[in-house]
Amino acid sequence: MIVGAFKNSSETGRVYLYDYFMKNEITADMTITGNVPDARLGMSVSTAGDVNGDGYSDVIVGQDAYSAYTGRAFIYFGGPVMDNNADVTMTGNSIYDSFGCSVSTAGDVNGDGYSDVIVGAYGEIYL
């Protein structure tokens, strides 16, 4: 389970990942903490499918208010041990786009065997 808390700590934001299928506890297995005030990491969160083909499900996180609402989205590769450093960083094209205001898995849209992701911005969708 993925929980986004974008208003945490001066809206730097935080994301909590729970492996609740394996445990009966309510302690996050991993926490990702934003480091840019008012950038709102965790505004949107989703599983991403397996974007890198390693057999593990990955996570995508949106940060819509980064750099005058240009916004960013991050992909964290899953695995037996995950860390809180993004493996892929995507940045919006212009201010006030709010790139990363929504994120989702798209499945394997182009048939290459890897999961694709969708990132939303105001008036736009990126695949």
Burial of 87 from C-beta contacts in 10 A (0-12 / 13-18 / 19+): middle
Angstrom distance (rounded) from CA 110 to CA 99: 22
Supply 48's token pair.
């991403």
Contact status, residue 98 vs residue 72, Cβ threshold 8 Å = no
Per-residue pLDDT of the chain (127 residues; tens, 9 = 90+): 899 999 887 889 999 998 766 666 778 888 999 999 999 999 999 999 999 999 999 999 999 999 999 999 999 999 988 888 999 999 999 999 999 999 999 999 999 999 999 999 998 889 8
User: Alpha helices of the chain — where are they, by DSSP H?
Assistant: 8-11, 66-69
Contact status, residue 2 vs residue 46, Cβ threshold 8 Å = yes
Q: 72: which strand partners? A: 63, 91
Classify strands 124-126 and 2-5 as parallel, antiparallel or unpaired: unpaired
